[in-house]
Structures are given as C-alpha cells and as structure tokens.
Structure 1
Amino acid sequence: MLSYILKRLLLMIPTLLGVLLITFMVVQFVPGGPVEQYLAEAKAGSGKGSGAESGGLSYRGAQGVDPRRIEQIKALYGFDKPAHERFLQMLGQFARFDLGRSFFQNKSVSELIWEKLPVSISLGLWTFFISYLIAVPLGVAKAVRAGSRFDFVTTLLVLFGYAIPGFVLGVALLVIFGGQLQWFPLRGLTSGNWDELSWGARVVDYLWHIALPVTAMVLGSFAVTTMLTKNAFLEEIRKQYVVTARAKGLDERQVLWKHVFRNALIPIITGFPAAFIGAFFTGSLLIETLFSLDGLGLLSYESVIRRDYPVVLGTLYFFTLIGLVTKLISDLSYVWVDPRVKFD
C-alpha cells in the first residue's frame, strides 16, 4: 500500500506539469492580454484630447503610447521575459505554494481564494447533502420496485432533470420565481441589511437567497448517484448470499438493510470524497455567475475575462492539486470499505 501511495504521489507531478504547461501555452495565444487592456484604456482616455492621461499612460494621438512606457508596463506584468523563463518562474512559485499576485485586484491569489471560498463551500455543502439524501433512498426504492410503474416514472423524471443543464434551469428559475413571481431574490447570498437582522432572520434570509442556485445545482447532480445506487442494489439482490438469507427465513427488511445495503454502498461510499470536494469547485462557475454569487466560480470567470493570468493559473493549480489528492483518497477508500481489494 505504501509503494502504491508513493507511485500515485509521484504521478501527480507530471500531471500537474502537463495541465499547467497546456494552459500556459494557450494563454500565450489568447488576444487581449493585460498589456493590451492597459493600452486600450489609454486610448479610450484620449477622447478627452491629445496627450490625455489614462491610468498613468500618456496617449499621444496618432503616435500612440511612448514605447518606453510600454516596456515599463511589460516589465510590470513580467512580459519582458521569454515565455519559458516565465513558465519556470511560475513553477518555482507554485513549488513553494506561492500562487502569485493578481494583476488588477492588488491581492495575492491565495487571499482571493480564501475570501471567495465560503460562498463556494456553502453551495457545495448544500448540493452534496441534498443530492445524497435524495439519491440514495430513491435509488434503493427503485431497485426494490424494479420494473414497476414507480421505477419507470422516476427514471423519466431523473433523466429529464439530468438532461437539463444547470445554468438553463437557473435561468428559468430566475425568470419565473425571481422575475415574474418575485418570490426569491435575483442575486447575492444575503440581503444588504443582513448585519442588522436577528439570528433567526439571518437564517431565513440566507435560505431564501440560496434556494434557487442550490435547486439548479441539485437537480442535475443527483441523477448519476440515483442510477448508480439502483444498479448496485440490483446487482447485489441477485447474488447467491441474498437467496441463502431469504431461505433461512430472514425478513425482507433485514435482508435488504443488513446484508444488501452494506455491500451495495461500496461504490457509493468510495465516491464520497470526490463528490464532496467536487461539489465545491465544479459546476458552480455558471451558477455563481448567473446568480451573482461572489465565489470561486465567479472569480475564475472574471479572471478569464480580464486576462488576470496569475489568478487563472494559480486557481487552476490549486484546483488540480486538490482534485488529484481527492482521487487518491477515493481509490484508497476502496480498501477501507472492502479489505478484499488489493492494488497489486
């Protein structure tokens, strides 16, 4: 087991390097970088007259910006160095767990992640727990009633919810319940006067704001777990030990919950770590942007739009590292749940 863990940890290094290298190469070819945006601001400020100042830049009409000033801007953002030097410098920072500093927000990437993390955790926790609380009992009920009308109708509903993208459902919820009916707020996680409310009113206000985004995320996320639970239970129900338990005269409830349930939940339990962590960092970008929730998803979106490369690459490194560690924990949980599993 120790050698397996060591191999997996070593394999994380080329995986991280590959992800960062590909992203870094793509970034080099994306038009409209921070230097270009800086120059565009100077040109926009020139509408006030020749030689207008914009952000410390002197735009001189048809002559543009002073070339020496352009070189200073490139040096400010680190673009005065060749691409390979910048890449190696970035790897050195990441090796020290220094994620860099934002070009535009005057904060370190670590500080920005720490500020936005509570919103994403809030969405992720609600999505994870509600999804599993619905999916597991529903999957068991479908397995017990396999082939019945209940199984057929719930399968259609589950697949229908899975087929609708979360952001499309979010738009529909916003238009209907936020716009037309005005039952729920259109944006934010709390009201503007949240600090003035009592504790009970704060809880109600928080749940009122989070209802729509969590609904949009949950309806598409529990379908896979539901069908996985159903198939796992069906596979276990047909095995010989279940027939033997029934032949001994055990009650059907005892057979289901004492024997079948423990074995059928192995693939579901081992998926807990990945699902738990993934609920925080995946699938929330569009939802956070749509509902104007200031979390990691919105931070990533705005960073890409503004070409804030340190934030883009720093958050990518952070998410990838967490994803690789979580995948390792998920694989190791197989051994914890079922000691018969060997990685040899």
Structure 2
Amino acid sequence: MASYILKRLLLMLPTLLGVLLVTFIVTQFVPGGPVEQYLAEARANNAGGAGEGGGSFSYRGGQGVDPKRIEQIKKLYGFDKPAHERFFQMLGQYARFDLGKSFFQNRDVGELIRDKLPVSISLGLWTFFISYLIAVPLGVAKAVRAGSRFDLVTTLIVLIGYAIPGFVLGVALLVIFGGQLGWFPLRGLTSGNWEELSWGARIVDYLWHITLPVTAMVVGSFAVTTMLTKNSFLEEIRKQYVLTARAKGLDESRVLWKHVFRNALMPIIAGFPAAFLGAFFTGSLLIETLFSLDGLGLLSYESVIRRDYPVVLGTLYLFTVLGLLTKLLSDLMYVWVDPRVKFD
C-alpha cells in the first residue's frame, strides 16, 4: 500500500506539470491579454478625462500609445521576460505555495480564494448532503420495489430533473418564487442588515437566501447517485449469499440492511471524496452569476474574461492538486470499504 501511494504521488507531478504547461501555452495565444486590456481601459479613461481637460495617460490620438509607456506596462505585468522564463518562475512560486498576485485586483490570489470560499462552501455542502440524503434512500427504495409503479414514476421524475439545466431551473425559481410570489430574495447570501440580527434571525435569514440556489443545484445532481444506488442494490440482491440468507429465514429488513447494504454502497462511498470536492468547484458558475453570489465560480469566470492570468493559473493549480489528491483518496476508500481489494 505504501509503495502504491508513493507511486501515485510521484505520478501527480508530471500530470500537474502537463496541465499547467498546456494552460500556460494557451494563454499566450489568446488575444486581448492583460496589457491590451490595460491599454484599452486607459484609452477610455483618457478619452473621458479629455473632455474635462484632464488625463495623464500618454495616448496621442492617431499616433497611438507611447512605446516607452507600453514597455513600462509589460514590465509591470512581467511580460518583458521570455515565455519560458515566466513559466519556470511561476513553477518556482507554486513550489513555495505562492499563487501570485492578481493583475487587476492587486491582491494575492490565495487571499482572493479565501474570500470567495464561504459562498462556494455554502453551496457545496448543502448540495452534497441534501443530494445524498435524498439519493441513497430513494435508490434503496427503488431497488426494493424494482419494476413497480413507484419505481417507474420516481425514475421519470429523477430523469426530468436531471434533464433540466440548473441555470434554467434557477431562472424559473427566481421568476416564480422570487419575483411573482416574493417568497425568497433575488440575490445575495444574506441580507444587508445581517450583522444587526440575532443568531437565530441570522440562521433563518441565511437559510432563506440559500434555498433557491441550492434547490437549483440539487435537483439535477442526485439523479446519477440515485440510479447508481438502485443498480448496486439490485446487483447485490440477486447474488447467492442473499438467497442463502433468505433461505435461512432471516427477516427481509435484516438481509437488506446487514448483508446487502455494505456491499451495495461500495461504489457510492468510494465516490464520496470526488463528489464532495466536485460540489464546491463544479456547476456553480451559472448559479452564482444568476443569484449574484460572489464565489469561486464567478471569480474564475471574471478572471478568464479579464485575462487575469495569475488568478486563472493559480486557481487551476489549486483545483488540479485537490482533484489529484481526491482521486487517490477515492481509490483508497475502496480498500477501507472492502479489505479484499488489493492494488497489487
């Protein structure tokens, strides 16, 4: 086991390096980089100030921008160095767990991520726990009643929920329950006077705000887990040891929960780490945008639009490391659930 873990950790290094290298190369060929964006904003500011008799930016009409000024801007963003030198400099920073500083927000990327984490954690935790609390019991009930009307109706409902994009469902929830009925707020994670409320009122206010975005994320997220649970239980129920337990006269509930439950939940439990991490970092961009929630998804999107490369590459580095470690943890969970699994 120790040699397997060491081998997997060593394989993470070239994988991480490859992901960063490909992303870095792509960013070099994307038009409208940070230098161009800075110049465009400066031109706009200069044009706005010109009518008021102001503006210190050296833009000279048809002659363009002063070349010395362009060189200063490139040096400011580090683009005065060759690409390979910038890449290795970035790797050196990441080796020291330094994610760099944002071009446009003038803050450390690590600080930005920490500031956005509460929103993503709120969405992720609620989505993860509610999905599994619904999916696992529902999957067990469907397996026990396989082929019945309950099974067919719930399958239809689950698949419809899975087919509706979370963003579309979010729009519908906002229009109906937020706009027309006015039952829930339209934006934000808390009210403006949240700091002035008592602890009980804060909890109610928080749950009031989080209901619609979590509902939009949950409805489409538990379909896979539900069907996986059902199929796993059906596969175990049809095995010989279950028939033997029934033949011995054991109660059906005892057979289901003591003998079938542990074996059937193997693929589900082993997928916990990946599902837990995925709830934080995937599928929340559109929901955060729709409900005006300032989380990691919105941060990544705005960084790509503004070509804020330190934020783009820093968040990618962090997510990739967490993803690789989570994949390793998921594989090790198989051994914890079933000691018969060997990695030899």
Matches within 5 A, 1:79-158: 79-158=79-158
Check whether the contact 2:46–2:57 (CA below 8 A) recurs between aligned residues. Answer: no
Relative to 1, partners in 2 of residues 1:305 and 1:12: Cα closer, same or farther, differing over 3 Å?
Answer: same
1:55-103 Cα distance to aligned partner (Å, 9 max, x none): x622121122211011000000011111111111111111111100001
Identity among equivalent pairs (%): 85
Relative to 1, partners in 2 of residues 1:235 and 1:323: Cα closer, same or farther, differing over 3 Å?
Answer: same
CA-atom RMSD in angstroms: 1.4
Quote the Cα distance in structure 2 between the aligned partners of 1:13 and 1:50.
Answer: 55
Check whether the contact 2:142–2:150 (CA below 8 A) recurs between aligned residues. Answer: yes
Quote the Cα distance in structure 2 between the aligned partners of 1:61 and 1:7.
Answer: 60
Check whether the contact 1:138–1:226 (CA below 8 A) recurs between aligned residues. Answer: yes
Check whether the contact 1:51–1:58 (CA below 8 A) recurs between aligned residues. Answer: no
Quote the Cα distance in structure 1 between the aligned partners of 2:51 and 2:22.
Answer: 42
Query: What residue number does 2:312 align with?
Result: 312
Check whether the contact 1:51–1:60 (CA below 8 A) recurs between aligned residues. Answer: no
Query: What residue number does 1:38 align with?
Result: 38
SS at match of 1:332: helix
Quote the Cα distance in structure 1 between the aligned partners of 2:42 and 2:333.
Answer: 56
Check whether the contact 2:334–2:341 (CA below 8 A) recurs between aligned residues. Answer: yes
What's the CA shift for 1:343? 0.8
What's the CA shift for 1:165? 1.4
SS at match of 1:261: helix
* Unmatched runs of 5 consecutive residues or more in structure 1: none
Check whether the contact 1:300–1:312 (CA below 8 A) recurs between aligned residues. Answer: yes
> Is 1:253 matched up with 2:249?
no
* Unmatched runs of 5 consecutive residues or more in structure 2: none
What's the CA shift for 1:46? 3.5
State the TM-score, normalizing by the size of structure 1.
0.97
What's the CA shift for 1:274? 1.0
> Is 1:331 matched up with 2:344?
no
One-letter code aligned to 1:209 = H
1:94-152 Cα distance to aligned partner (Å, 9 max, x none): 11111000011121001111111111111111001000000000000000000011100
Runs of 4+ in 1 over 2 A off after TM superposition: 45-54
Quote the Cα distance in structure 2 between the aligned partners of 1:193 and 1:270.
Answer: 42
What's the CA shift for 1:51? 11
One-letter code aligned to 1:63 = Q
Moved more, 283-292 or 139-148: 283-292
Quote the Cα distance in structure 2 between the aligned partners of 1:52 and 1:105.
Answer: 28
1:177-232 Cα distance to aligned partner (Å, 9 max, x none): 22222211111100000011111111111001000110011011101100000000
Quote the Cα distance in structure 2 between the aligned partners of 1:76 and 1:51.
Answer: 28
Matches within 5 A, 1:47-62: 47=47, 48-49=49-50, 57-62=57-62
Moved more, 58-67 or 198-207: 58-67
Relative to 1, partners in 2 of residues 1:229 and 1:276: Cα closer, same or farther, differing over 3 Å?
Answer: same
What's the CA shift for 1:52? 7.2
Check whether the contact 2:99–2:110 (CA below 8 A) recurs between aligned residues. Answer: yes
One-letter code aligned to 1:243 = L
SS at match of 2:283: coil
Matches within 5 A, 1:128-207: 128-207=128-207
Query: What residue number does 2:280 align with?
Result: 280
Quote the Cα distance in structure 1 between the aligned partners of 2:20 and 2:292.
Answer: 28
Relative to 1, partners in 2 of residues 1:87 and 1:51: Cα closer, same or farther, differing over 3 Å?
Answer: farther
Query: What residue number does 1:293 align with?
Result: 293
Check whether the contact 2:170–2:216 (CA below 8 A) recurs between aligned residues. Answer: yes
Quote the Cα distance in structure 2 between the aligned partners of 1:30 and 1:86.
Answer: 16
Quote the Cα distance in structure 1 between the aligned partners of 2:191 and 2:52.
Answer: 45
Quote the Cα distance in structure 1 between the aligned partners of 2:174 and 2:244.
Answer: 53
Relative to 1, partners in 2 of residues 1:316 and 1:62: Cα closer, same or farther, differing over 3 Å?
Answer: same
One-letter code aligned to 2:89 = Q
Check whether the contact 1:52–1:58 (CA below 8 A) recurs between aligned residues. Answer: no
Relative to 1, partners in 2 of residues 1:52 and 1:16: Cα closer, same or farther, differing over 3 Å?
Answer: farther
SS at match of 1:57: coil
Check whether the contact 1:303–1:311 (CA below 8 A) recurs between aligned residues. Answer: yes
SS at match of 2:219: helix
State the TM-score, normalizing by the size of structure 2.
0.97
Quote the Cα distance in structure 2 between the aligned partners of 1:322 and 1:147.
Answer: 40
Query: What residue number does 2:16 align with?
Result: 16
Matches within 5 A, 1:214-293: 214-293=214-293
One-letter code aligned to 1:282 = T
Task: Give the count of matched residue pairs.
Answer: 343
Quote the Cα distance in structure 1 between the aligned partners of 2:208 and 2:51.
Answer: 52
